[in-house]
Amino acid sequence: MSRIAYIDGVYQPLNMPGILPEDRGYQFADGVYEVCAVRSGRLLDEARHLDRLEYSLAALDMPMPMSRAALQQVMRETLRRNRIQSGILYMQVSRGVAPREHMYDASLKPVLVMTARPISAERRAQIMKKGISVISVPDQRWARCDIKSISLLPNVLARQSARNANVQEAWQIDGQGMVTEGAATNAWILDAKGVLRTRPADNDILNGIVRQVLLDCVADLKLKFEEKPFSLDDALAAKECFSTASTMSVFPVISIDGHKIGDGKPGTVAKQLSDAYDTVEKKLPKN
């Protein structure tokens, strides 16, 4: 079956041209995006994703492309047309189409693009069982990483460095030697003292949706927790490390830069948090 995309009001085959050359998203990366996980045909954390979309748009002085209710209808129709049961829904909003100038007219009409694709449910189970390896790279991103901007070139280069090193993710290191986040994930450790740590959600990181859900779960699990930056050295000495993102929820990290973390296997706290996330999601109402 041909995949179907929603492009500025039209559902059409994914391979059919649909983006105009003077779309500011295409020319300036002037736009934002969201990625929602889909399990058993359900959109996970839908309200949180839409809240963050509105936050990112407001930070860039961009309006919503349509009402929230209308956007939710398009999301469900895109899933239906692509027959997605397990996978992701991607939505992108650019500022609009206009002659190429750095300045923009506040009256521009935003352009919404939406796609969906399947991801095997077995893949998530394999990641939880085997874990992933990461490398460290310098953080070269801009100063507003809290905005989910489509300007992702530093993330692309970091992820490609990981691929070239035959690992699955890159953790980015700031000028003080502290871990900010992964190229496409938030970073966590269970430090040498047994304290769960992740960086505070400031302008240096994206406040991940799974991150938000897990912060709500930490107290119930009675884990020692600090929302506190940690260094690469802290991570290398940690009992456990893991990443989080909507695509797979929890990614246990078994090595960094070739250095084994703990016993080199996915840890029990990562498994606890993964199970806690699944429990929260099962309680959510169906789409």
Average confidence (pLDDT) per 10 residues, the chain, 287 residues: 90 90 97 96 96 98 98 98 96 98 96 96 91 98 98 98 98 98 98 98 97 94 96 98 96 98 97 94 74
CA separation for the pair 203, 179 (Å, rounded): 14
What residues contact 42, with CB distance under 8 A and at least 6 apart?
284, 286, 287
So what's the pLDDT on residue 17?
Answer: 83
148 counts as catalytic: yes
So what's the pLDDT on residue 142?
Answer: 96
The domains spanning 4-119 and 124-282 adopt the same CATH topology? no
CA angle 201, 207, 211 (to 5 degrees): 100
So what's the pLDDT on residue 59?
Answer: 98
Angle of helix 46-59 versus helix 209-218 axis, rounded to 10: 120
CA separation for the pair 272, 270 (Å, rounded): 5
CA separation for the pair 47, 271 (Å, rounded): 25
Report domain 124-282's class: alpha beta
**Fold of domain 4-119:** D-amino Acid Aminotransferase; Chain A, domain 1 (3.30.470)
> CA nearest 270: which of 251, 283, 247?
251
Domain coordinates in residue numbering, the chain: 4-119, 124-282
Q: pTM, whole model, 2 decimals? A: 0.95
Q: Specify whether the CB–CB gap between 55 and 48 falls below 8 A.
A: no
So what's the pLDDT on residue 145?
Answer: 98
For 222, the 3-state DSSP assignment is coil
User: Of residues 109, 130, 148, 239, which has the active-site annotation?
Assistant: 148
So what's the pLDDT on residue 1?
Answer: 60
